Structure 1
Amino acid sequence: MTRLLVSLVLFSSASFSVSAWAEQSVLELLSDEQNLSPQALMLKVEKEYSGVICDFEIDVENGELIYEVGVIDTERETLTEFEFKAKDGGLINQKVERLEAADKYGLKAVILIEEMEQTFYSLVDKAMEDRNGHIVGAKIDHDLGISYLEIKLIDAMGKRKLAFDIKSQRPLPLLTWD
């Protein structure tokens, strides 16, 4: 029994070390000025592709920072998923699918963004006012009658999330946590 407990403690601390190391690695990649910032890539996507960004995530593949972006086109009723290299914004992969029932909540938020003549980037920019940190993820959603933007951030202090009401253009304090 003692061996099992010691093994669990060692395994738990090893998992924590790997997680802390992974966070540090991601932070270093996001801080590398040779990479496009997430916001710069969002602007590029909005300029070059039709539709509204509904989802943004980062990934690390073979030590290289990759940006994954989802775009909903309400006219074509499609969801396009892109992968871009952070180094130069080069397109790695693009997949287009018809919108499905599971996409309806994101679609509600996209329609509101279009009606308000906003962009995903402008919402992210507004939500990030007076906030520091690197964006590791951002998505729009609609729940409990509220369309909102959720942003995941990382900095030297760790990870945190914030939520931003699309319609009122204000933070959602009940959904903001560190």
Structure 2
Amino acid sequence: MRLLKEVILGLFLVSTAALAGQDDVVMQLAIENAKIKPEQAVVKIADHYPGYLSSFGIDDEDGKMVYEFGIIDPKDSVELEVIMDADSGKIWLDEKDALSSKTLKSKKYQLLMNSGMTLEKAVQEAKKVVPGQLLEAELVQEKGIVFFEIELLTDRGDRKVIVDLQSGKPIPVTRR
């Protein structure tokens, strides 16, 4: 009975790993087939909207690949969630949330607005140490450090790199 449980557990682990690999392959194909690549979308949104990009992600909407962006607009004290169709380039506002003056004065947002480090620059720095295709990016504050966490799709699967807002230094995250 114990052997049967170990075999079932082993098959489960192997199939889970295979599915993770399948997800990477599907994502790579979707990005290759998209008319607008992730980095192009980031530049287009940064040029189109005032404020500071704080996040990027790839999602599926009605069977189509879309890019999702978080944008901090300190002038209007709002955070926007904007979506772009990866094929047509159509852009639409999904959500608009008010930000308090306390939130805008937080270390996280002050560094974003004053460091000179943008999401676009953070992605460029991350790709210097881990070449790959942009999958996700998020502004994070942890243990007093503010950084962009960048996820890139490489030939060996997805890898994370953090880019410190103060120094601009990219640091690959090792896998455990």
TM-score range, shorter chain: 0.7 to 0.9
Q: Deviations over 1:126-167 (max 9, x none)?
A: 332354111111111222222211101112211111111111
| C-alpha distance in structure 2 between counterparts of 1:106 and 1:163, whole Å | 23
Counterpart contact for 2:136–2:152, Cα < 8 Å: yes
Could you say if the C-alpha distance between residues 37 and 64 of structure 1 is closer, same or farther in structure 2, counting changes exceeding 3 Å? same
Distance 1:131 1:40, change over 3 A: same
Rounded Cα–Cα distance in structure 2 between residues aligned with 1:131 and 1:158: 11
Q: Which amino acid aligns with 1:15?
A: T
* Cα deviations by residue, 1:6-30 (Å, 9 ceiling, x for unpaired): 4444443333322221111001112
Alignment of 1:36 with 2:42, yes or no, is: no
Give, in angstroms, the shift of residue 41 of structure 1.
0.9
Give the Cα–Cα distance (whole angstroms) in 1 for the partners of residues 90 and 69 of structure 2. Answer: 13
CA contact (8 A) 2:129 2:170 kept: no
**What residue in structure 1 maps to residue 157 of structure 2?**
158
2:88 aligned residue: 88
* TM superposition score normalised by structure 2: 0.82
Equivalence map 1:20-169=2 (5 Å):
20-32=21-33, 34-61=34-61, 63-99=63-99, 104=103, 108-129=107-128, 131-169=130-168
Where structure 1 has 5 or more consecutive residues not aligned to the other structure, the ranges are none
Q: Which amino acid aligns with 1:78?
A: V
SS for the counterpart of 2:87 is coil
Q: SS at the partner of 1:128?
A: helix
Q: Aligned partners of 1:4 and 1:92: how far apart in 2?
A: 50
**TM-score normalized by the length of structure 1:** 0.81
Per the TM alignment, residue 110 of structure 1 is displaced from its structure 2 partner at its CA by 3.2
Residue 83 of structure 1: CA displacement? 1.8
User: Which stretches in structure 2 are left out of the alignment for 5+ residues?
Assistant: none
CA contact (8 A) 1:105 1:141 kept: no
Instruction: Count residues in correspondence.
Output: 174
> How much does 1:108 deviate?
3.0
CA distance in 2, matches of 1:71, 1:87: 21
Q: Check conservation: 2:57, 2:136, Cα contact below 8 A.
A: yes
Percent identity reads: 24
CA RMSD of aligned residues (A): 2.8
Amino acid at match of 2:41: L
